[in-house]
Every structure is written in C-alpha cells, then in structure tokens.
Structure 1
Amino acid sequence: MLPSVVGAALSAAVLAYVLSKGTYLRHARGIRTMRAVRNGIAAVFSVLLALNVWCVVAMPENVLLCDIIAAATLLATAVLAAVIAERRIPARDVTQRRKVLAVGAHPDDLELACGGTLAKLVDTGHEVRGLVMSSGEVGGNAGVRPDEARHGAAFLGLSALRVHDFPDTQLETVSNEMVRAIETAIKDFGPDVIFTHSAHDQHQDHYAVHQATLRAARAHHSILCFESPSVTRDFDPSVFVDINGYVDVKVEAVLSHRNQAGKPYMTPGRVRGMAAFRGAQAKNSNAEAFESVRLLGSAIGDL
C-alpha cells in the first residue's frame, strides 16, 4: 500500500502546483507553450491521482496492480521533467548588456505591443524598465489596473515599472508633465534604446505619449515605435524582432489584465494572429514590428 500512498501524494502535489495558476505561470515563464504543457500535466496526473487513491481505498490487497500504478506515477514524473527540459526557451549570451526603456499610455499597452520583445530582452540578459502614463480609469477600473500592469511587468521580467496617474483619454492636456516624467526616467536609467507608441495611432493618448517621448528623448539616438491595436494603416514597420518561443509568454502577460477581458484585441487568438502576421512579413514564424524614429546600430547591438 505504501507505494500507492506515495504515488497519490506525488500526484496531488503536482496537481496542486500546476492548478495554482499564478505560481505555475510564474515558474513556467521560460517554457514554450506553457498553457498546453500545464493542461497536459493536469490531465495525466488527475488520472494517476484517481488510480492511486482507488488502490489505497478499494484494492489494497492487489499489491501488483497498485505497484504498477505507483511506478507509472514515478515514470510520469520523470517524463514531465524531461518535457519541461525540452520545452525550455534556450538562453542566449550577449556581448554587451543593454538598457531598454518602454513607455506606454495605459496599463496594458506594453504587453499588447511588445510583450514578446521585452520578455526576450530580459531573458537575453538586458535590463528592461517600463513607464506607464495613466491608470486607465476611463477604460477600466483604476483601482486594479495599475496592479495588473505591475503583475504583467513582473511576469515579463521587467526590473521596474512606474505607473503615473495622468488623466486617461486626456493625456494631451498634460504634455509638459509627461515630458518631465519621461526625462526623469531617461536621466535616472540611461537607456540604450527607448520604445514608445507610433505617431500613426488613432488613439489620442497613444499619439500624445509618442509626442512627449520624442520631446523628452530629443537628444537620444535610438527610438523605436511599437504597434498598438489602434495603429492606422500608415504604420510602416522596418524593424522586426523574432519572438518565436515568446508568443505564449506574451499571451499570458496580456491575460494578466483581467479588467480588460472581453475586448477583442485582448484575446489569445488576436495576439497570436498579429504575431504570425508580422512574422510572415519578416520571413519568420512570429515577430513584433517597430517603426524606427532613429536607431544607432551600436546601441541596439545583438538585441
């Protein structure tokens, strides 16, 4: 009976781990197709838990059968470890560590526009910080959206995220204040590259943040503009970042903004579709697209 008790305990522990979504996702951040892996683990170990409990409760006298089920549980655990190792996103070494500052208007803008790129930069060894200009009170609940932004940033691996409380949908009225806030971030951090919204964006806040960033970074050599869901047909990217292996990471970061759930552009299907579309343009599988205001080659290096 002891092997079955051990098998049941092991199955229960694995199930508790993968079903505690926040804990699992945080630890599984570097695994490709993390949600599919999680679902597969849950299905297999649910069956094994039921079989081990059945052996302990209903069939303790059938030692051989119970031992086989317990052994299967141990084997499944070993296979699980092998699958996780195989699905790991490979790490890359960089010749020089860069600093990247991403500036967005609303709590979910960075994840939607360049979440895959930011996560990849972090995993590659670069330092990434975020700056968000509003708490998104018009488009959602200002009481929860800043925390969702911090959760998303932590999941992507950003070293810091500052959420300002400038007026949502009216950011153009505080242009000078935003310029000063961005100038302070640039001075404190000294980024090599700055990401922000495109000028070709029909959302007034996005355009206002673009203008404020360009003013604040008027002496900076490398500014890339990311693609928000509200960009116009004039958005014309010339820089693409390969995010193969990071689409699931981006999806999970976007889903962390539960207050925005239900909006069409927040769905996994839309996120994956955009990544595939830009990947096709870049002659790759998945990518994120950027317009270049200006870009110094030595600053971006092997990003």
Structure 2
Amino acid sequence: MTVSLSAPLLVALLAAATAAAGADRPLRRRFRRPRLLQVLAVGAALVLVPANIAYGLASRSGAGPAADGTTTGVQVASLAVLGGLVGLCGVLRIAPAPARLPRRVLAVGAHPDDLELACGGTLLRLVDSGHEVHIMVMSHGGRGGDGNVRAGEAESAGRFLGASGIEVLDLPDTRLARHENEMAEAIERAIRRHQPDLIFTHSGNDQHQDHRAVHLATLRAARQHPAVLCYESPSVTAGFRPSVFVDISDQLDAKVCAVATHHDQRAKPYVGERQVRGLAAYRGGQARVPLAEGFEPVRMTVPLIEEQR
C-alpha cells in the first residue's frame, strides 16, 4: 500500500501546488480569498512532498515496520490535506445563483481601463449570474499610454470579465468631445444590435473631458432607454453622489486582477490594488455591505441583479 500510493500522492500534491502558484487569474476569477488557496496548496506541497519522498525511500529500503508505519501516516496526512483543499475550494468557489430573467447589459467607457476600474466588480457579478454583458470602449487611449498595447489589454480584460462582446473604437484620446456625434451614432448602433436592458456609462460629475463627452453621447443615444446608470471613475468630482450600490464582496479579487490586466497603466496611482480595495470598502460602508460599487441613476426601472432565492 505504501509504495503504490507514493507516486500518485506526489503527482497530486505537485499538481495542486503548481496550479495554485501559476493560476492567479483563474483563481481570482472563480474563488474568494484566492491567496489563501495559493498559500495552503504551496505550503502543503513544500512540507508533504519531501516527507513522502523521504519516508517512501525509507520504506522501500526495508528500514523496518516503524518506518513503514510512519510512511503510511504521511500518506494518510497527504490524502487528508488534498481532501481538505478540495473541500475548501468548494466552500470558497464563487457560484451566484442564476438569474430568473437573464438580461443584456451594455457598458460604455472612454478608455481601455475605465470599465474595469469603475464597474468591473458589477460586470463580473452580472456575468456570473447569467447576464449577457457587452463592452464598448471609445478610444485606444494613445495619449495616456501605448494605444496599440492598450487596445489589446481592453480586449484581454473584457474576455477575463466574461463579456459576450468587446468593441474598441479608435477615436482620438483626450479629444472625444469633438466626436460626440460619432460616439452617439456608434452607441445607438450598439443599442439596436444588442437591445440592452441596462446601460452603464460615465458620470457627468467627472473632471476628465473624455468621460464627460462619453456621458453626454450615451445620454443622447439612450434618450429613450429606461435604465441608465453612471459609474465612478477615479476622476469624478465631489458632486458624484451614488444612490445605487452593488455588493461585489465575492468579485473584488477578480476585479483587482481585471484592473491589473492593464499593464501599460500600472504606474498610475489609481490602478493600484490598495486604491481599488479602498474605494470598494468605502462604498461598501455606505451601502451597509462589506464591499461595493456605487452608481448614479439617470433612470432605473429594472432590478439591477435579479437572482434566484
């Protein structure tokens, strides 16, 4: 028994440790407290792999019944740890109940990282609940970084979020106000194509000229739409007053990972993990939940997230 179990246990322990150490994005996307899973899996492998090897060799060399008994104990402990990790994965897995009425959502942003920063947690929760999310970005963000790189990062982040569609336009960064008609027409086409039940866009209470321009273009394009919410960018003014909140306690780790997808912007202070978590905690305090994102409603006539009970 001792010899036959050694190889499978070593393989299983090494596989668990390797997967945990190298799968940061998938862990963040599917589990709460992904760092805990990584630490436990790697720590267990560091202790139990050498122990299995040492006692397995001792048993094979005929070191005696005591050594064989110790080896069996190590293997039992290894099996228990593996079982515990599997059970913990089940407990920490993010698995929201599917929506009774799946909805379509259109999220409109000015630059490649705007949506992840402002409403990434909400988009993640919507996708996880079975809703269909479409993303539209107006600019490659060439004035604030490498436009070619940032466009690709927007698509990568959108795929990580689970968006059904990602459209990145190439209107001039920092000069979107000159192209309000083009943006409004593009958003109108997206509304006709996707028939969204809910639209997210920038707030009018924002210091960035591109954000204000996208806000106005969206309001024009969605002038007959019954559900429009404005999200919080790092550049919002003190006039931003959210009254709609979404609990993103299960999605914050994944949101941090989505923001980190924008490597081109990693030097910007507002993309740091500490800042992202701090804002979520602040809005969570206002909403009386652990972590949240806040929105200003232009109009809101449908439940934001409707899940089975």
Is TM more than 0.5 here?
yes
Identity, % of aligned positions: 45
CA RMSD of aligned residues (A): 2.0
Verify: 1:53 aligned to 2:58, yes or no: no
Q: Partner of 1:121 in structure 2?
A: 126
1:197-246 deviation line (CA, Å, top 9, x unaligned): 00011111111111111111122121100000110101011111111211
**Aligned runs of 1:1-303 on 2, under 5 Å?**
1-21=3-23, 25-26=25-26, 29-56=29-56, 60-61=60-61, 62-296=67-301, 298=302, 300=304, 302=306
1:153-175 deviation line (CA, Å, top 9, x unaligned): 22222111111111112211222
Distance 1:58 1:236 in 2: 68
TM-score (norm 2): 0.90
Letter in 1 for 2:31: I
Distance 1:295 1:166 in 2: 29
Quick one: structure 1 residues 92 and 6, their matched pair in 2 at CA, closer, same or farther if it must change by over 3 Å?
closer
TM-score (norm 1): 0.92
Q: CA deviation at 1:133?
A: 0.9
1:43-67 deviation line (CA, Å, top 9, x unaligned): 2223222333344567743433333
1:4-40 deviation line (CA, Å, top 9, x unaligned): 222221111112212223xx53265231112332232
Distance 1:146 1:63 in 2: 59
Distance 1:125 1:159 in 2: 11
Query: What 5-or-longer segments of structure 2 have no aligned partner?
Result: 62-66
Query: What 5-or-longer segments of structure 1 have no aligned partner?
Result: none
Give the SS at the match of 1:29.
helix
Quick one: structure 1 residues 54 and 266, their matched pair in 2 at CA, closer, same or farther if it must change by over 3 Å?
farther
Quick one: structure 1 residues 43 and 151, their matched pair in 2 at CA, closer, same or farther if it must change by over 3 Å?
farther
Distance 1:59 1:301 in 2: 58
Aligned residues: 300
- The structure that has the greater radius of gyration is 2
Distance 2:131 2:101 in 1: 8
Distance 2:157 2:97 in 1: 23
Distance 1:252 1:46 in 2: 26
Q: 1:11–1:46: 8 Å Cα contact kept in structure 2?
A: no
Distance 2:159 2:223 in 1: 29
1:259-292 deviation line (CA, Å, top 9, x unaligned): 2113221111111111110111112221110011
- Higher mean alpha-carbon deviation, 161-170 vs 226-235, is at 161-170
Q: 2:241–2:296: 8 Å Cα contact kept in structure 1?
A: yes
Quick one: structure 1 residues 282 and 141, their matched pair in 2 at CA, closer, same or farther if it must change by over 3 Å?
same
Letter in 1 for 2:257: E
Give the SS at the match of 2:278.
helix
Q: 2:20–2:37: 8 Å Cα contact kept in structure 1?
A: no
Distance 1:73 1:194 in 2: 50
